[in-house]
Amino acid sequence: MESESNKILNAFTQSEYKYGFITDIETDMAPEGLNEDIIRFISEKKQEPAFLLEFRLKSYRYWLTMKEPKWANIHYPKIDFQDIIYYAAPGKKKIPGSLDEVDPELLDTFNKLGISLNEQKKLTGVAVDAVMDSVSVKTTFSETLLKLGIIFCSFSEAVKNHPDLIKQYMGTVVPYTDNYFATLNSAVFTDGSFCYIPKGVRCPVELSTYFRINAANTGQFERTLIIAEEGAYVSYMEGCTAPQRDTNQLHAAIVEIIALKDAEVKYATVQNWYPGNKKGEGGIYNFVTKRGICKGNNSRISWTQVETGSAITWKYPSCILLGDNSVGEFYSVAVANNFQQADTGTKMQHLGKNTRSTIISKGISGGNGNNSYRGLVRIAKNAVNSRNYSQCDSLLLGNKCGAHTFPYIQVENKSSIVEHEATTSKISEDQLFYCQQRGIDMESAIGLIVNGYAKEVLNKLPMEFAMEAQKLLSVSLEGSVG
Amino acid sequence: MLLSIKNLHASINGKEILKGIDLEVNYGEVHAIMGPNGTGKSTLAAVIAGRDLFEVTEGEVKYKDKDLLKVPVEERAREGIFLGFQYPVEIPGVSITNFLRTALNELRKYRGLDPMSAVEFLKLMEEKKKLVEIQSNLTNRSVNEGFSGGEKKKNEIFQMAMLDPVLAILDETDSGLDIDALRIVAKGVNHLRRKDNAFLIITHYQRLLEYIIPDYVHVLFEGKIVKSGGKELAIELEEKGYDWLKNT
Ligand SMILES: Nc1ncnc2c1ncn2[C@@H]1O[C@H](COP(=O)(O)OP(=O)(O)O)[C@@H](O)[C@H]1O
Ligand SMILES: [Mg+2]
The one-digit pLDDT tens for each residue of chain A (482 residues) are 334 434 433 333 334 445 544 455 555 666 677 888 888 888 888 889 999 999 999 999 999 999 887 766 667 777 777 777 777 665 444 444 455 555 555 555 555 545 555 433 433 445 555 555 444 444 445 566 778 899 888 888 899 999 999 999 999 999 999 988 999 999 988 888 899 999 999 988 777 755 444 444 445 788 999 999 999 999 988 765 555 454 557 788 899 999 999 999 999 888 776 666 666 666 777 888 999 999 999 999 999 988 877 677 778 899 999 999 999 999 998 887 777 777 778 999 999 999 999 999 998 887 777 788 888 999 999 999 999 999 999 988 877 778 888 889 999 999 999 999 988 888 888 999 999 999 999 888 988 898 889 888 888 877 666 766 776 666 655 544 43
**Helix, strand, coil shares, percent, chain A, to 5:** 25, 35, 40
C-beta atoms of B74 and A441 within 8 A: yes
DSSP state of B89: P
Q: Which of A4, A436, A452 sits opposite B94 (nearest CB)?
A: A452
The residues in B 169-208 lying below 8 A from A, measured between CB atoms, are none
Q: How many domains does chain B have?
A: 1
Query: Residue A209 class from Cβ within 10 Å (0-12 exposed, 13-18 middle, 19+ buried)?
Result: buried
What is the C-alpha separation between B206 and A119, in angstroms, rounded? 67
Which member of B53, B85, B93 has the closest CB to residue A434? B85
Chain A residue with minimal CA distance to B163? A438
The residue of chain A with its CA nearest to that of B160 is A438
Nearest ligand by distance to the CA of B55: 1
**Atom 9 of ligand 1, residue of closest alpha carbon:** B43
* Spatial distance between the Cα atoms of A297 and A116, rounded to a whole number of angstroms: 39
Dihedral pair phi/psi, residue B9, rounded to 5°:
-115, 135
Beta-carbon-side half-sphere exposure of residue A314 (alpha carbons within 13 Å): 22
How many CB pairs lie under 8 A apart between chains A and B? 76
pLDDT at position A93 is: 40
Task: Report pLDDT for B174.
Answer: 87
Chain A hits for B89, Cβ within 8 Å = 428, 430-431, 434
Across the interface, do B77 and A4 touch by the CB < 8 Å criterion?
A: no
**Whole-angstrom distance, CA of residue A140 vs CA of residue A196:** 16
* Helix, strand or coil, per DSSP, at residue A115: coil
| Phi, psi (degrees; rounded to nearest 5) at B79 | -80, 0
- For residue B141, what is the domain's CATH number? 3.40.50.300
A444 shares contact with chain B (CB less than 8 Å)? yes
What's the pLDDT at A475? Answer: 61
Note the pLDDT of residue A135.
Answer: 46
Pairing of strands B66-67, B15-25: unpaired
The tens digit of pLDDT for each residue in B93-105 reads: 999 998 999 999 9
Which residues of A are less than 8 Å from B88 in CB distance?
434
The pocket of ion ligand 2, defined by CB under 5 A, consists of: B 41-42, 86
Q: Tell me the average confidence (pLDDT) per consecutive run of 10 residues in chain B, 248 residues long.
A: 95 94 96 93 96 94 95 96 96 92 94 89 90 84 91 93 96 87 89 95 88 93 92 84 70
- C-alpha distance from residue A219 to each of A88, A136, A189, A216, A287 (Å): 9, 16, 9, 9, 11
Q: CB count, 10 Å around CB of A47?
A: 9
Q: Provide the pLDDT for residue B72.
A: 95
* Predicted pLDDT at A127: 54
Element (H, E) at A90: strand A88-90
Q: Which chain A residues are closer than 8 Å to B92 by Cβ?
A: 452-453
Range of the domain at B132: 3-247
